[in-house]
Amino acid sequence: MFWIKIEKETRPEIIKDFDNYGKSKKVLVLIEGKEPLVAEYNSGIENGEKWEQWYCPDYEDTIEGVTAWCDCIPRIH
């Protein structure tokens, strides 16, 4: 297991596409001063502008301040 820093412009792979955005599988994320959280990375294009966000299913909301992520949560089928 290793953490991938956000400053490297590396994001989790988009695995599911919708009409106007895509999302990654769930990963662990670090936010300074907090415990690791499970989240997914979302990105899309709106009005010609690319956007991205981290979404935490437990909070049912987006989260700010993600500094690193770790791809260590297995998929459940």
CB atoms within 10 A of CB 5: 11
Q: Which residue has the higher pLDDT, 26 or 7?
A: 26
**Confidence class of residue 74 from pLDDT cuts 50, 70 and 90?**
low
What's the CA gap between 76 and 25, in Å, rounded?
11
Mean pLDDT across 9-33? 91
Give me the pLDDT at residue 6, please: 87
Identity of the amino acid at 54? W
Q: What 8-state DSSP symbol labels residue 7?
A: G
Full-model pTM: 0.83
CB atoms within 10 A of CB 10: 10
pLDDT digits (tens, 9 = 90+) for 27-69: 999 998 888 999 999 999 999 999 999 999 999 999 999 999 9
